[in-house]
Structure 1
């Protein structure tokens, strides 16, 4: 069996940046199960896994266009400190949930001045080349419910109502 649309594939992976620092990994944990063809992974990784079989190992670099996109300068905004009412100690690196035109989004504080706070709504990995090491562990047919929901369910189901 190979990884094709509507198959559930289980993979072990390690994601590093260009400097070789590990950003995310399934090492020492359960492997990641995902539903192929349903945008459960970044597009470049999902495309690379198409047609692979159990035991296949691959190393690949996913460019931002096929990963989390390029950094969008419009998502970096300087806001008046008064918009953060009730929060006395705002520091670089803090994250907030913000209502945007695209719905709820996480923004990160990237600069703090006396009267202004600069936030960045880009994904933390936007503009970054993603270096993946992946091993295919298992492939199976998706269940009807997984196909309807567009993602993999664990032993207890998916934990949400549709």
Structure 2
């Protein structure tokens, strides 16, 4: 019988809760996730806990914050005056906002923690930083990944595609 291991295509049904019982995923019932093992497609701490399970097996486990999205980092909470950050005037306290770096076009989110008449306090930590994650998982399907799936997951390994290679050197 197959088990969750390297190069296997796996489908799980799962829920994730926080310590207070609130749901991160699966409030109305388990959600489905598929991935190929050992290709950084899911949270590494989750994948490690699934290794060795077989189709039909269920597991409950906790992933501590340090293995999930890290501890809450107080240095990532910053207060900016409206002189420094004029856009802060238009932000709503208690809401998430998204910014785009003008030069790199990278997008990042931040939480508007507090707003006064002169400043705004922003939290750049991941929303789940400092939170332990409580998983309930069922492995519903396991099969060897197909060669074309593996090729897609590691396009730069081994035999180069001659068409891509010629384009890269054109």
1:129–1:80 Cα change, 3 Å: same
| Partner of residue 115 from structure 2, selected from 87, 112, 120 | 112
Is 2:82 the partner of 1:85? no
- On the 8 A contact 1:13/1:26 being kept in 2, the answer is no
Separation of aligned partners in 2, 1:56 and 1:3? 11
- On the 8 A contact 1:10/1:31 being kept in 2, the answer is yes
Aligned to 2:36: 35
TM-score normalised according to structure 1 size:
0.79
Is 2:130 the partner of 1:137? no
Separation of aligned partners in 1, 2:153 and 2:28? 25
The worse-fitting range, judged by mean Cα deviation, of 14-23 and 33-42 is 33-42
| Partner of residue 153 from structure 2, selected from 150, 158, 162 | 150
**Structure showing the higher helix proportion among its residues:** 2
Runs of 5+ consecutive residues of structure 1 not aligned to the other structure: 152-162
CA RMSD of aligned residues (A): 2.7
Is 2:23 the partner of 1:22? yes
1:81–1:73 Cα change, 3 Å: same
- On the 8 A contact 2:14/2:30 being kept in 1, the answer is no
**How many pairs does the alignment contain?**
150
Aligned to 2:168: none
1:45–1:7 Cα change, 3 Å: same
Q: After superposition, give the CA deviation of every residue in 1:16-74 in whole Å (9 maximum; x if it has no partner).
A: 11111222128557621122212222222110101111001000011012111111222
Bigger radius of gyration among the two: 2
Consecutive aligned runs of 4 or more in structure 1 exceeding 4 Å deviation: 26-30
Aligned to 2:96: 94
Separation of aligned partners in 1, 2:141 and 2:27? 14
The worse-fitting range, judged by mean Cα deviation, of 37-46 and 105-114 is 37-46
Other structure's SS at 1:46 match: helix
1:64–1:148 Cα change, 3 Å: farther
